[in-house]
Structure 1
Amino acid sequence: MNKINKIPVARLGYNFITAEYLPEGENEYYLRDQQYTGERNWRNLNDKEISQLTANGNMADNWNNILVSEIFDVSLVRNCKFYGLVRIGKLEPYSLEFHDVRLPVGLYNSLIISCDFGDNVIIDNVNYLSHYIIGNEAILINLNEVSVSDHAKFGNGIVKHGEKESVRIWMELCNENAGRSVLPFDGMQTGDAWLWTRYRTDDTLMQKFREFTEKKFDLRRGYYGMVGDRTVIKNSRIIKDVLIGTDAYIKGANKLKNLTINSSSDSPTQIGEGCELVNGIIGFGCRVFYGVKAVRFFLASHSQLKYGARLINSFLGDNSTISCCEVLNSLLFPAHEQHHNNSFLCAAVLMGQSNMAAGATIGSNHNSRGADGELMAGRGFWPGLCVSLKHNSKFASFTLMAKGDFPAELNIPIPFSLVSNDVSNDKLVIMPGYWFMYNMYALARNAGKYDSRDKRTFRNQYLEYDFLAPDSVNEMFTAMELMKKAVGQSWKKKEGKVISAEAAVHKGESVLEKKSSLHKTRVLIDGIENSSREVELIKVTEAYHLYKELIVYYGITQLIGLLEKEPKLNFDSLLRKLSKAERHHWNNIGGQLIPQPTLNQLIKNIHTGKIGDWDAVHEFYHQCSNNYPLQKAQHAFASMLEVKGLTAADFTKKIFLQYLSETLATKEWMSKGIYESRAKDYESPFRQMVYETEQEMEKVIGELKNNTFILQQEAELKAFREKVKELKAWVKKTRPSSRKK
């Protein structure tokens, strides 16, 4: 039976905060007065104004509780019912126009309970408007219900005074069994969610994060809902317990409940037709359109949900887009793309720059007795058409999954690889370095594309988009060791011998360094798939040497970048900045890369109380972002020395000049690879067959010679040649090194 409470009509609009939650000496409006930041030159209505308002079809439970501005055109309020304390800013004879809709300023045909209005608002046909503060020049038209409860939390994972713990909202990220749940809060960053989900055995850290969240918000009851200046809301049904920033645009929404919708003049947020959003936080500059359903979610800044997307118990990072499909229990780092109605993503951590193809199903079925599987993938994870993957699985950065139904759990520690399910031969095939060999165009273009699409106005975290960075380069070192071992074991197995792991690495390195032919050797590797079938590595020699070449390229380009930032450095001072560098393990903290020792320091500072709230955590991210260019250069230098088998003392001017030449050659090869990988799309007869002539093809897809990205790469190569020439002259001019070896 529905519980219907009967209360005297005289109490309608009053006692918003009940006596038990009202501080001594305060009235029920004390928090409302703190929230309202506009002019306070209200006055009571005079008898003539009351008479005119009544003649205009208005009524009030008590006209003494209707306060207005000094500038108040009584003719602009018609057919409204007022209950409780209502305060109205300036109403002047203007019309406001937005997206070709023009309406007169004023309050019309609405039921209004205990609200504050800024100057020159439009409130028209709002059936129920209760306990809201409406900003200047806001427009609310054709709305069924806009209300707020005294215990509204606006999407934050807190509990108000007197509430039971069971009402607290958690986001169940990464795992369907809620074992990695986090408390959402306005201002949360992807790195916060990552830390909270990963360090589950650190009880102190978990408790601190909960305390930080509680500390961030006032747990008192009685906060009003807010609609910011110039925000437009029209033709929508239910808006309850929602904070809305300035300059937002909401049209045709079905239900918005328990939300914070961040919006500003620089980064306006829009919510469109048919959307139902419950228990969430929406960042600045977001777009949510056309039948989206989202529950217990976080949408970071400048991200989009469109065309019936379903986002449940998930965190979507900055500058991401999800269209059509379903995403559950996932933590998605910035620059995630998913556009297809038949793709499905569940219980996953994708660490950015990811793209889900049509038909891809990540975690579509349980392969254990519990709903506790997980999938984790590094940056640049691309599951291809109709890929099906099982939990648990883990993938290195820039892994491309070829079309196929992968039958068992996978652990792919080799970055930049193509993973294929060879059904006819019942084996898994991995091509390390695939992107470098066959698709440099996409790899290089995506790095620039993601950076150009980063629309954040507040860049607290430095998001890494370059494919050569500390995380991916460290994975290349891991992959080279695995490749050595696999080659050594396979080489000896061909001879009918079994050797130790250490001996296999030594033998494999010898074979790979000599570039010995592996055409007659099937290179098999263990520990990749949870099955008894073979896992074969192909094009191992090519990938091994490409990894080494690109690590040197990474090292030299980062040194060049450091010199460009600090042009006063000479050769010796440059090396002093880099000589103590180590190739630490790095963590991807929500798209920001942080070395392990630095992350350890963050956790220690939280434990000791040196870092005592989320703002301090975010300031730590900011400091790490400032330090990142130098730390990345140090990592690159250490990586280059390691792959070349040198120490810092061995890095002479002669070596530097040699590596500059090698790097230029690599850049030329990359530029050529970018052109050739794109040229395939023009040369393939299967690409050409849908066009009658070459001219028609060029009209449709553009001329290869005018490809903007290729022209950009050619210009960059030309500039790089000049830079290398300058640096060689600079090295030769500087004084001889006085460093002791």
Structure 2
Amino acid sequence: MHLQTVSQKIIYSDLQNRIAHFCPCSTDEGASRESAPADQPDTPEQDLPESRELRDEEIRLLREQGNSAEDWSAVRVHPDFNVLSVRGNQFFGRVYLGVFSGAMHAYPVPGGVVSLPQGVYGSTLADCRIGSASAVHRCPMLQGVRTGREVLLSNSSLRSSGATIYGNGIEIPIGVEIGGRPVRIFADLSLELAQFVLDRPGDALVQDDFNALVDRYCSRIQGHCTIVDDYAAVLDARHIQDAYIGPHAWVHQCDCIEEATILSTPADPTEVGPSSVIRRSIIQEGVSVDTGALVFDSMLFEHSYVTEHGKVQHTIVGPNSGVSLGEATASFMGPFVGFHHQSLLIANYWPGGRGNIGYGANVGSNHTSRMPDQECWPGEGMFFGLSSVIKYPANYREAPYTIIAAGVTTLPQKISFPFSLINEPVAYYLEVPPGFNNLIPAWGLTDNLYSLKRNEGKYKARNKAKRNHFDLTLFRPEIIAYMRKAVEYLESITERKTIYLPKDIPGLGKNMMTDVNRLKAIEAYRFFITLASLKAMRDRILANPKAVRSAEERRAETAGLERYLTMVPELLTRTLSSRQRDIDRGKAIIDDYQQTHCPAEEDPFVVETRQEVELELSRTRQALEYLSGA
């Protein structure tokens, strides 16, 4: 796959056209959006608003209403300008004022409305353009600001320092803090393109082509003002500079926004809330940055969040992921990463996402007496338990959906066993080196299938991403490939033992494994590998039921489907058993557990699994009918 192929999949926003609308002299007027798809045509550049000079009588009235101007001839207004809606202001340089009714107007914000009179009141404007039907109230400094229609600005300071590209094009280090795996961010960057570039740090052609793409993009969004687009609201913001704030964005009580692009749409408004700070960053649609959050040199993809004093620096936060209370630095967080506690994530390259970071987890032990040049590659769906400590370097890419138990410290290692549990040893053996943990391969498949199915359903239900698309199916081909490799490793032993060490089994990292767990894992991996293979065969039959098949092929496919019919119900059995163990444990400890929890059979995800199994059986019988009638 080439970079051009990946970049052509980008779904572009209207950012370039919007900046050209507000700053028509700053952008390359002959350039169209970079690689914009044919079904997303450019809108024609809009002209500047109609304007006229103030009449002498209007200047007199404006003065009587407490307004002053450095040069009244530099103040231009809409042809239908209403002088009564502008009171108590100071104007410096070139200022444009739209038409304001002066009547109370309800400005919509997430969760309600803010009602204020249209017009400009008690504010200082220098080289500004205020769009019609807007409300500007008690803003101590607006310098180099341009707004769209029906914008609300209240008790806020916004300015421009001159030429800006709104935080686009900056380079951030991912994984290796001191550099080596960099990526440049821009407002319409896709998760797939970012991963494509990050996966190829040594490919000069890919890096050069990507930098050229970003340079072209940035050349088309050069502006010279802070922009607040149509229907956006900014209230009680202490400092905003060199920012683009998109349509319907809701910015309130933030401390600082500098050199930033904040995309927003009516369907997916973005919110920047109290005490938040955003510097040199890109914020896509539907994002929340709230309650003392700090975002520096980072990119927050659509429907992600940083809240409750979370700190994000030199980091990409994927769709539907977020950081609360904790800190993420020099990391790439893929989709659906839950990070809701005071924890640490440093130098992680985690494109698969779908994981969780427990309270006190230290996934960032690269600050030793040596240089901070090590990184961690978590696998898709990894869970870092309470107070776990991950020592670097670490590579869990071939161990998706692995759980690091609470309080566990892992040594630098590479693991190749999906769905594993890494815990402290339950017994001590003389031959096991200090610091080694006990790895139980395929534990998620044998003992925790309920949680796996629950998370799969949860991700599908909660996915709000529109720009980025990812397969949320659990048993995908790449996951099955890791399971096949794990079976090869587990079966590669030359001698049966009670326990195994890294010299006995490849991919074991710095851990031990018991023979009992090895045998259970082989059975579990093989079961799900076979299940996925037979399901793929069934789907191929349903996709092309009239395909020509020999008698031998029909017999083999029929036998496979009949086997599949016997295996599929086992999914429900294992899911139900996994949930029942949790309930039995709870009943033995909590006196009224049965009054607060439904029976395992009635659990929503068990019911959903039962429905999936019934659908699988029905589709498989349909495929058998096709074969019998062939």
TM-score (norm 1): 0.74
Residue 302 of structure 2 aligns with an amino acid whose one-letter code is S
Report the equivalent of 1:683: 584
The 5-angstrom pairing of residues 22-61 of structure 1 reads 30-31=25-26, 37=46, 40-61=49-70
- CA deviations on 1:607-664 (whole Å, 9 max, x unpaired) are xxxxxxxxxxxxxxxxxxxxxxxxxxxxxxxxxxxxxxxxxx9972222122222223
Equivalent of 1:729 in 590, 610, 625: 625
Q: Check 1:31–1:522 CA distance in 2 against 1; reply closer, same or farther (3 A cut).
A: closer
Report the equivalent of 1:512: none
Deviation for aligned residue 1:377:
1.9
Instruction: Write the distance in 1 (CA, Å) between the matches of 2:487 and 2:601.
Output: 37
Does 2:99 match 1:90? yes
The 5-angstrom pairing of residues 464-479 of structure 1 reads 464-479=471-486
TM-score (norm 2): 0.87
Q: Report if the CA contact (8 A) 1:431-1:537 is conserved.
A: no
Report the equivalent of 1:405: 408
Instruction: Write the distance in 2 (CA, Å) between the matches of 1:688 and 1:105.
Output: 64
Deviation for aligned residue 1:242:
0.6
Instruction: Write the distance in 1 (CA, Å) between the matches of 2:189 and 2:275.
Output: 27
Equivalent of 2:546 in 570, 577, 580: 570
- CA deviations on 1:132-158 (whole Å, 9 max, x unpaired) are 220111101011x2011212221112x
Report the equivalent of 2:36: none
Instruction: Write the distance in 1 (CA, Å) between the matches of 2:292 and 2:283.
Output: 16
Report the equivalent of 1:155: 167
Gaps of 5+ in 1: 1-27, 158-168, 495-520, 576-648, 735-741
Q: Check 1:91–1:137 CA distance in 2 against 1; reply closer, same or farther (3 A cut).
A: same
Does 2:329 match 1:433? no
Instruction: Write the distance in 2 (CA, Å) between the matches of 1:75 and 1:677.
Output: 71
Report the equivalent of 2:41: none
Q: Check 1:421–1:693 CA distance in 2 against 1; reply closer, same or farther (3 A cut).
A: closer
Deviation for aligned residue 1:49:
1.2
Q: Which has the higher helix share?
A: 1
Does 2:499 match 1:522? yes
Deviation for aligned residue 1:96:
2.1
Q: Check 1:569–1:43 CA distance in 2 against 1; reply closer, same or farther (3 A cut).
A: farther
For 1:241, what is the secondary structure of its paired residue? strand
For 1:731, what is the secondary structure of its paired residue? helix
Q: Report if the CA contact (8 A) 1:357-1:383 is conserved.
A: yes
For 1:182, what is the secondary structure of its paired residue? strand
Does 2:87 match 1:78? yes
Does 2:62 match 1:62? no
Q: Check 1:227–1:729 CA distance in 2 against 1; reply closer, same or farther (3 A cut).
A: same
Report the equivalent of 1:717: 613
Q: Check 1:548–1:535 CA distance in 2 against 1; reply closer, same or farther (3 A cut).
A: closer
Report the equivalent of 2:16: none
Instruction: Write the distance in 1 (CA, Å) between the matches of 2:551 and 2:525.
Output: 22
Residue 579 of structure 2 aligns with an amino acid whose one-letter code is R
Q: Report if the CA contact (8 A) 1:345-1:364 is conserved.
A: no
> Number of residue pairs matched?
579
- CA deviations on 1:63-112 (whole Å, 9 max, x unpaired) are 22222222222111011111122222221133222435321001011111
Deviation for aligned residue 1:182:
1.9
Q: Report if the CA contact (8 A) 1:430-1:537 is conserved.
A: no
Report the equivalent of 2:314: 313
Deviation for aligned residue 1:367:
4.5
Gaps of 5+ in 2: 1-22, 30-43, 429-433
The 5-angstrom pairing of residues 70-469 of structure 1 reads 70-97=79-106, 98=108, 99-143=112-156, 145-157=157-169, 169-218=170-219, 223-341=224-342, 343-350=343-350, 351-367=352-368, 369-395=370-396, 396-422=399-425, 425=428, 426=434, 427-459=436-468, 462-469=469-476
For 1:229, what is the secondary structure of its paired residue? coil
Q: Report if the CA contact (8 A) 1:556-1:663 is conserved.
A: yes
Instruction: Write the distance in 2 (CA, Å) between the matches of 1:29 and 1:670.
Output: 60
The 5-angstrom pairing of residues 702-713 of structure 1 reads 702-713=598-609
Report the equivalent of 1:584: none
Deviation for aligned residue 1:537:
5.6
Instruction: Write the distance in 2 (CA, Å) between the matches of 1:195 and 1:261.
Output: 24
Q: Check 1:716–1:197 CA distance in 2 against 1; reply closer, same or farther (3 A cut).
A: closer
Q: Check 1:667–1:331 CA distance in 2 against 1; reply closer, same or farther (3 A cut).
A: same
Report the equivalent of 1:641: none
For 1:338, what is the secondary structure of its paired residue? coil
Q: Check 1:730–1:70 CA distance in 2 against 1; reply closer, same or farther (3 A cut).
A: same
Instruction: Write the distance in 1 (CA, Å) between the matches of 2:28 and 2:76.
Output: 14
Does 2:594 match 1:694? yes
Residue 655 of structure 1 aligns with an amino acid whose one-letter code is A
Deviation for aligned residue 1:681:
2.7
Alignment root-mean-square deviation, CA: 2.5
Report the equivalent of 2:525: 547
Deviation for aligned residue 1:473:
1.0
For 1:490, what is the secondary structure of its paired residue? coil
Instruction: Write the distance in 2 (CA, Å) between the matches of 1:381 and 1:472.
Output: 13
Q: Report if the CA contact (8 A) 2:257-2:277 is conserved.
A: yes
Residue 154 of structure 2 aligns with an amino acid whose one-letter code is I
Q: Check 1:703–1:235 CA distance in 2 against 1; reply closer, same or farther (3 A cut).
A: farther
Instruction: Write the distance in 1 (CA, Å) between the matches of 2:56 and 2:237.
Output: 36
Instruction: Write the distance in 1 (CA, Å) between the matches of 2:629 and 2:129.
Output: 72
Report the equivalent of 1:557: 535
Q: Check 1:434–1:687 CA distance in 2 against 1; reply closer, same or farther (3 A cut).
A: same
Instruction: Write the distance in 2 (CA, Å) between the matches of 1:454 and 1:473.
Output: 23
Q: Report if the CA contact (8 A) 2:538-2:561 is conserved.
A: no
Residue 126 of structure 2 aligns with an amino acid whose one-letter code is I
Q: Check 1:717–1:293 CA distance in 2 against 1; reply closer, same or farther (3 A cut).
A: same
Q: Check 1:123–1:559 CA distance in 2 against 1; reply closer, same or farther (3 A cut).
A: farther
Seq. identity, %? 24
Instruction: Write the distance in 2 (CA, Å) between the matches of 1:537 and 1:377.
Output: 26
Residue 60 of structure 1 aligns with an amino acid whose one-letter code is A
Instruction: Write the distance in 2 (CA, Å) between the matches of 1:693 and 1:241.
Output: 56
Residue 151 of structure 1 aligns with an amino acid whose one-letter code is A
Instruction: Write the distance in 2 (CA, Å) between the matches of 1:223 and 1:428.
Output: 57
